[in-house]
């Protein structure tokens, strides 16, 4: 079914490195971590804000640092809280979860469920960026498109988007499921476990060396818009 039975939602879970005033004492020695790839996804917010088309039903970003609480992790994960917050009292963790984690995740989920109630298939794009060098190892790609290899619709959209990126930004390298696998725990994985037919989860990873490079950002956006047109009309 075309158009009216499909919609796009866009999230950016690691858009900023802000720490609320109340919790700043926990981060007195953490400025270097907050400013690094551990604190936020440099450049991801610019790409997120650039992505606009007529099929997008909802967009949502989080500008509080993942070092306070990581919105892109499930509650059972050890990395949900960082070394700066892991030792705080349980009631403080509960307050952080209520204010920053659940407020993001539940409102986003409500939008998706509203679409599902209307028998609409949802394409969820989660926008991220990655550090060019990790643990001394160069990551040999410019962009990564992450999807679950067992989900045919996700794989098809990833192929279409990659082809459009290659047309618009020739000479740039786009890889599938790199620098991370498309299957592990995260915001996207949460919805895959709920809905098998009416959900496509795509995570996009931009190399942080392109942060602030608006030629690249606009090229990625145009490629996404072309891929969106193709998907809507499948």
Radius of gyration of the chain (CA): 18
Query: How much is the pTM?
Result: 0.96
| Start-to-end CA span in the chain (Å) | 8
pLDDT in tens, 115-127: 999 999 999 999 9
pLDDT at 1: 37
The pLDDT, as a whole number, for residue 4 is 66
Low-confidence ranges of the chain (pLDDT < 70): 1-4
Report the distance separating Cα 34 and Cα 17, nearest Å.
Answer: 6
Tell me which residue range forms the domain holding 70: 3-232
Using one digit for the tens of pLDDT, what is the confidence trace for 128-178?
Answer: 999 999 999 999 999 999 999 999 999 999 999 999 999 999 999 999 999
How many C-alpha atoms does 160 have within 13 Å on its Cβ side?
A: 19
Predicted confidence at residue 2, as pLDDT, reads 46
The set of residues, in sequence order, having a beta carbon less than 8 Å from that of 142 and lying 6+ positions away, is: 172, 173, 174, 206, 207, 210
DSSP code of residue 147: -
**What CATH number is given to the structural domain containing 174?**
3.40.630.40
- Stretch (H or E) spanning 115: helix 102-117
Please state the domain count of the chain: 1
């Amino acid at each position: 079914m075309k158009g009216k039975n499909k919609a796009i939602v866009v999230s950016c879970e690691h858009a900023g490195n802000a720490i609320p005033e109340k919790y700043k004492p926990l981060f007195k020695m953490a400025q270097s971590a907050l400013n690094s790839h551990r604190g936020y996804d440099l450049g991801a917010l610019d790409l997120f804000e650039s992505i606009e088309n007529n099929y997008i039903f909802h967009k949502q970003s989080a500008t509080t640092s993942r070092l306070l609480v990581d919105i892109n992790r499930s509650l059972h994960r050890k990395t949900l809280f960082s070394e700066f917050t892991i030792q705080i009292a349980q009631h403080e963790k509960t307050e952080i979860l209520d204010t920053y984690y659940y407020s993001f995740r539940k409102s986003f989920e409500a939008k998706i469920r509203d679409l599902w109630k209307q028998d609409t298939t949802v394409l969820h794009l989660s926008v991220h960026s990655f550090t060019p060098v990790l643990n001394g190892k160069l990551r040999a790609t410019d962009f990564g498109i992450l999807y679950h290899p067992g989900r045919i619709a996700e794989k098809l959209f990833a192929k279409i988007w990659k082809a459009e990126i290659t047309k618009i930004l020739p000479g740039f390298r786009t890889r599938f499921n790199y620098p991370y696998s498309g299957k592990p725990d995260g915001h996207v994985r949460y919805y895959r476990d709920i809905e098998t037919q009416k959900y496509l989860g795509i995570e996009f990873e931009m190399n942080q060396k392109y942060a602030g490079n608006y030629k690249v950002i606009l090229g990625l956006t145009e490629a996404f818009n072309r891929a969106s047109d193709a998907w809507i009309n499948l």
